Amino acid sequence: MNEALMTIGLALLAYIIGSIPSGLIIGKLFFNTDVRLYGSKNIGATNTYRVIGLKAALPVFLCDVLKGAIGVLLFSSLGPIYMLLGGILAMVGHNWSIFLGFKGGRGVATGLGVLIALSPLVALICFAIWGIIVYFTKFVSLGSIVAAIAGPFLMWFTNESIWFVLFNALAALFVVIRHRENIQRLLAGQELKVERVKRGE
């Protein structure tokens, strides 16, 4: 009974930590700016960069990554399946934050944090893939989608746990679904690039 209560408590904690809207808090607290009012109106690091700049986007990115890693590590003593549960709940919290009326970001940075906690090598390769694509195309969404899809294949090729492979496949599907509007804009040539926008836009 105590173990079940502890698991439930950790699950709620992982979700609540994931729900913390880093972009909104940092934007408002340090730059007097609500990033939801500009650019893509997303609370993630990419839109924070568009609206405020790297000085805000970097700490937002690091905080969102940390949320995912903490979600996994909360369950590190209970085994890989529970670790995956913690990571999933952190991502769910970021995407459907209890503090934002169950709205949120795309979950890519938080997903990266989960991946770092599960397999640093795969996380590094996925981040490199993301960086190369974003550097040459300026489309963060495209880099995120391709890196996410590469994740389960890299997990398989590096002989990680089958549970980690299946999780990454599910996470990749999750990222693609969350980016469905971005995919439509990419196909229509209307996707926003990772560049600064004017506050009036």
User: pTM of the prediction?
Assistant: 0.83
Q: How far is CA 163 from CA 30, 101, 106, 107, in A?
A: 40, 31, 23, 20
pLDDT tier, 192 (very low <50, low <70, confident <90, very high otherwise): confident
pLDDT tier, 201 (very low <50, low <70, confident <90, very high otherwise): very low
Percent of the chain with pLDDT over 90: 64
User: What would the pLDDT profile of 55-81 be if each residue is shown by its tens digit?
Assistant: 999 999 999 999 999 999 999 988 888
User: One-letter amino acid identity for 87?
Assistant: G
Report the range of poorest mean pLDDT among 54-63, 85-94, 117-126, 163-172. Answer: 163-172
Radius of gyration of the chain (CA): 17
Q: How far is CA 185 from CA 48, 139, 142, 180, 188, in A?
A: 20, 11, 11, 9, 5
Q: Which residue has the higher pLDDT, 163 or 14?
A: 14
Q: What single DSSP character describes residue 38?
A: S
User: What would the pLDDT profile of 22-60 be if each residue is shown by its tens digit?
Assistant: 999 999 999 999 999 988 888 999 899 989 999 999 999
Q: Does residue 100 carry a pLDDT above 70?
A: yes
User: One-letter amino acid identity for 10?
Assistant: L
The beta-carbon contacts of 168-173 under 8 Å, at least 24 apart in sequence, are 168/115, 168/122, 171/91, 171/111, 171/114, 172/148
Look at residue 198 in the predicted model and tell me its pLDDT. Answer: 56
Q: pLDDT averaged over the chain?
A: 90
The beta-carbon contacts of 27-31 under 8 Å, at least 24 apart in sequence, are 27/51, 27/52, 27/56, 27/60, 30/56, 31/56
CA angle 175, 80, 19 (to 5 degrees): 45
Look at residue 199 in the predicted model and tell me its pLDDT. Answer: 57
Q: Which residue has the higher pLDDT, 1 or 136?
A: 136
pLDDT tier, 196 (very low <50, low <70, confident <90, very high otherwise): low
Tokens 């839109």: give the residue. Answer: 47
Q: Which residues lie below 8 Å from residue 131, measured CB to CB, with a gap of 6+?
A: 143
